Structure 1
Amino acid sequence: MAFLQKKTQGITGDWNYRKELMAMLSEEKYENFTFATAFASENGVNLLEEQLVKVGKNVTVFVGVRNGVTTYQAIIKLLSLGVKVFGVDTGSAAKIFHEKTYTGSNSDEAIVVTGSGNLTRGGLVANIESGTLIKCDLTNINDEGYYQQCMEQLNILVHDYHRNVYQINDVVMAGELLANGILIDEKKAKPRTVKGTSKANLASIEIPPMKTFVEKTGIQKSEKVAETEGNYLLAVPDETNSEFNVLNFEKIWRSKELTERDLNIPTNAGTNTTGSMLLKKGAYDINQQSYFYEEAFKELTWTPGAGNKDKFLYAEAHFDFLIDGVFIKGHELVLKHDPRTNTKTYLQKQPMTHLLWGAAKPLVAKRHLLEEIMTIYKDQNNPGKYLIKIEAEE
């Protein structure tokens, strides 16, 4: 009789799709494996590579294509591991193949893992995903019937929709699918569609990021060109119509985990905040004393301050915000730089540039943003405009 277990990825560190599929693939008793998934990415395949390289010739993968997610890189990686790959192509953008079922079997028993996890990094380790494990005794008529249903429904797709469900035989065919837009190239910058929009005076709800369990696999993620070349494409809804505006940004700086001082959050009731963020090295290997003035914000007009502030240089720029996936039209903010090279601060190699939060302080002075990461981008099409992205990272 079948043995069933319900699992949820991310709630504890005990179970995720990667661990389950790796255990399945490493079971010497299973002779054949069939995976059916809506989406596949190279990072997802990489998470299973250690076992796929050993048993790939016994694995068949049905994967949705023409969905804007499954990538050329994922397909050629699977092929390189000896996996037989079928693309499930509905021939339409209006519906997609959305299956997520993974099986291993021999003549006497089978295991079926079905739920919500795709063959992507998110689906295998990072997202909160649901899964059900069904261990089938194939000598039992009911168990065998259930397992055969899993297999037959895929076979029906192959035989009844032979023009839509096709084997991707080699890299050449994968390249043709890429050239025809049926697979996407994950090495090309793809616009990120914002999760929502708000206004600076309305963005008041504070929801902290969920601290779920994400396995530290030690397997390095493949970098996308959007990060390696600094391009960041953002699709933002137009306020006047139903269209999206695609904004093209270049990454110029990235912080480490944000602190109370960075975000101007008082540590206690008697603490006075500075009203600004000191721009430091962050995650970059830069000269923190000159980088922001001479490189990151060099196109701005810097002018001396008035009166006793004339020793500092000031520049104004427009900063929009992308906070936890929500795009917020921002404010004109001021940058302050100390160009002097004979001060104690300079001689101690301390940072010399501040971002004054000004009217944007209510947007950032929120405790749920602590330990998140800030990235600053400059708009490549609109000089003097910038984007500040703040979000948690897994």
Structure 2
Amino acid sequence: MSLIILLLNLLQNYFVMNFKIIGLGSNLDLENSLGNELIQIFESHEYNKVHIITAFSSLSAVNGIISLSKENKISDLTIITGIDQKGTSKEALEELLNSTAKSYIFYNPSNIIFHPKIYFFEGIDKIKVIIGSSNLTSQGLFQNMETSICVEVNKNEDLSLIKDLTQNFSSLFDLSDKNLKEISKELIEELSKLDIIPNEIDRKRSYSKSSIREKNNREKIISLFPKRKSAKINQKFKKSKFIESISDIEEDIAEVDFLDNNKEEILVWKSSALKERDLNIPTGKNTNPTGSILLKKGETENIDQRHYFRDEVFNNLDWTKDKTHNHIERALATFKIIIEDNEVGLFTLKLSHNTDIESVTYKQKNSMTNISWGKAKEFIAKPELLGKKIELFKKEDLFILKIN
């Protein structure tokens, strides 16, 4: 909060009139998040230069900023992110590397933490600066209780405030700081090997309140501190290379609302011990990564695996015939995937069902239904999951897939 105090003092000194408070407080109905403010700024087309300095970055938020910059033809985008306290993921850095942004990492190996949050926009006629508590993460921009001050200054007015800001952080604006390193593939790999940056799953895990201990004490905790409604994350900041955006589901990294409603989770299937083919891990000439898992009987009793999944588990999905193979039906379903008690995210996965009852597969009573892992594959194809089992729960039209 020291940056906010600094800015308030500067405002008093220079009496800048065009400023406002933004951020989520106790009134969620205001929809007054920094994320929504950033979207409006980008889409205003009034600025061509953007300079972001943030302590932490997540994949979804970086993806949102990059998309906004591309859609609105920002010619000059610079993003500096810290990596302290495992607050920035490897995937977020890779997203920055693969973008057109000039991207840098700031890191100090001492105990001093890099903690600023500055969003600087410059156009032909004016400059807009936002300083506050929100990191470049989807929760920080849309859901956490955060506060920021937004200041707009015309270039023909007194720019003392802007000069004070850029001088205080001069080495981060002119990119001369010795602790700044331009993001590269080699740097990312080295930081990953040194265990300084986590993958996106571990980043979420470290900031999640969904620990086993807390889940076991959930009723007691809620009796002390009641649940609060979460604000919505804009769709632009929910899309990522591994988390599908679903229009009628609002995702919260720490917890998903549908898991906390009064509907019961019903166990509909338990697999046998997972093998290489199930997890798409090729081990030899006879093991091909198909990208999918066949839904077999497993440890679920009294079912016919040829019909059970299509006719009972996934019967309410919108099934359509494949245009090329008329005996194949396709459908999409929403899955929340949890691996060893760690929530990975929400995925829209494709299901396929073979309706040909004259086929050899059917007559041999083999599985006729499969799930394609799609963008979840990078979390599934892990040797450490061999021998574990899947439990599939149904909760209305949503499915929870747990691997333990």
Separation of aligned partners in 2, 1:180 and 1:186? 16
Number of corresponding residues? 265
**Matching of residue 279 in structure 1 with residue 266 in structure 2:** yes
How many angstroms apart in 1 are the aligned matches of 2:229 and 2:109?
Answer: 39
Q: Residues 208, 154 of structure 1: CA spacing in aligned structure 2 closer, same or farther, 3 A cutoff? A: same
Q: Which has the higher strand share?
A: 1
Which of 74, 79, 85 matches 2:92? 74
The AA in structure 1 aligned to 2:178 is R
In structure 1, which of residues 186, 206, 212 is the aligned counterpart of residue 200 of structure 2? 186
Give TM-score, length-normalised by structure 1: 0.53
Shift of 1:155: 1.8
What are the superposed Cα offsets for residues 97-156 of structure 1, whole Å, 9 maximum, x if unpaired?
Answer: 111110111353111111111111111222222121111123222xx1111222222223
Letter in 2 for 1:165: L
Structure 1 residue runs of 4+, over 6 Å off?
158-161, 198-203, 337-341, 373-376
Quick check: 1:23 aligned with 2:40? yes
Alignment partners' CA distance in 2, 1:338 and 1:46: 40
Contact 1:57-1:84 at 8 Å conserved across structures: no
Contact kept, 8 Å, 1:60 with 1:83, in 2: the verdict is yes
How many Å apart are 1:44 and its aligned residue?
0.9
Q: Equivalents in 2 of 1:140, 1:84: separation in Å?
A: 29
Matched residue type, 2:147: S
- Which whole-Å CA distance do the structure 2 matches of 1:72 and 1:176 have between them? 11
Cα deviation code 1:14-54 (max 9, x no counterpart): 33222222222333332321111100111111222322225
Per-residue CA deviation, residues 220-273 of structure 1 (Å, 9 max, x unaligned), is 35548xxxxxxxxxxxxxxxxxxxxxxxxxxxxx996566585xxxxxxxxxxx
Give the structure 1 partner of residue 354 of structure 2.
Answer: none
Higher fraction of helix: 2
- Listed as ranges, the matches of 1:167-206 within 5 Å are 167-168=182-183, 170-186=184-200, 192=206, 204-205=220-221, 206=223
Q: TM-score, normalised by structure 2?
A: 0.52
CA distance in 2: counterparts of 1:51 and 1:125, whole angstroms? 16
- Tell me the distance in 2 between the aligned counterparts of 1:64 and 1:78: 13
Within a 5 Å distance, the mapping from 1:292-307 to structure 2 comes to: 292=270
What are the ranges of 5 or more consecutive residues in structure 2 without an aligned counterpart?
Answer: 1-15, 244-255, 274-298, 314-335, 343-384, 392-404
Overall identity of the aligned pairs, in %: 20
Cα 1:210–1:108 change in 2 (3 A) is same
Of the structure 1 ranges 63-72 and 5-14, higher mean CA displacement relative to structure 2 is found in 5-14
Q: Is the 8 A contact 2:166 2:173 kept in 1?
A: no
CA RMSD of aligned residues (A): 4.6
Note the 1:1-394 alignment, pairs <5 A: 1-9=16-24, 11-12=28-29, 14-53=31-70, 54-55=72-73, 57-92=75-110, 94-106=111-123, 108-141=125-158, 144-156=159-171, 162-168=177-183, 170-186=184-200, 192=206, 204-205=220-221, 206=223, 207-217=225-235, 219-223=238-242, 257=259, 262=264, 279-280=266-267, 288=268, 291-292=269-270
Q: Offset at 1:75? A: 2.1
Distance 2:141 2:46 in 1: 23
Q: Following TM superposition, by how much is the alpha carbon of 1:81 offset from its aligned partner in structure 2, in angstroms?
A: 2.4
Evaluate the alpha carbon distance shift between residue 179 and residue 32 of structure 1 in structure 2; reply closer, same or farther with a 3 A threshold.
same
